[in-house]
Homo-oligomer: A and B are copies of this chain.
């Protein structure tokens, strides 16, 4: 096998993917602007000579040229660079234009320039919009994102589709659910821990706590990504990656307080059935396509939340 380019490879999911690829003996180059990613997430891989790290911006064509010219050629590109904080961009859509959409466009454009023909893309359940009463399959009709993040990811998929056809690329679109675990930089588990470390008696919960979503452990997620990359052989592959169970925000709060040995925390709710405008309060994936390919997660949703809580609390690299 040749070398892999991991865009956003020092971020939450990117660093977990980078670690797994290195564990499998693969050679990788990581491009990350360290805006959400951290050097510490991949320091050990770089120190061990298993990965190279280029601190650079995937929206800048020259930075991508440097990656392909100085560190390539690459067998494939894993593009995971994006704004991952939906709540933050709700008041500033330019964040999604720049960090989620234009990263994708420029990565595609660079792949076209360098005739790199294989792309693995990190998409999301947020592209589907609010489909609370459906089991969401990959080809469901009427896909209408309601958050700027979901819009930017669906816009990315739109351009990926056309670049793939026009340049004979092979593509693996992986649509992530909520993901928890080691190296997270935000999200309910992470936020609750941060908050409870500051105040051990009170916890503010966005919404009414009933928002319920499938949470996948990040180790399961990156395992699924590589499984899809290696086993799905169509020119254009689209997969939901999920877990059939789900966890409410209230349940997350209870798991976190349990793991932190804080039995007397008082919960306060901001009210309403969503955490913020653009939040989808509940969704369920139809995971049959990926099950049919032969993959299933090791951990159910509640277990994933508990493992993630322990990983973040211990600060281990797991």
Contact = CB atoms under 8 A, between A and B. Distances in A.
Number of copies: 2
Interface string A89-111: 01001100100010001001100
Interface stretch (A28-36, A77-85, A154-162): A154-162
A46 interface: no
A158 B161 contact: no
B93 A109 contact: yes
Q: Classify the secondary structure of A's interface with B.
A: helix
A264 interface: no
Contact of A142 (B109, B139, B142, B146): B139
- Classify chain A's interface size: 35 or more
Interface of A: 90, 93-94, 97, 101, 105, 108-109, 112, 127, 129, 139-152, 154-156, 158-163, 165-166, 236, 277-278
15 contacts: A129-B165, A140-B141, A143-B143, A145-B158, A145-B162, A146-B165, A147-B165, A148-B162, A150-B162, A151-B158, A152-B158, A152-B159, A154-B158, A155-B155, A162-B278
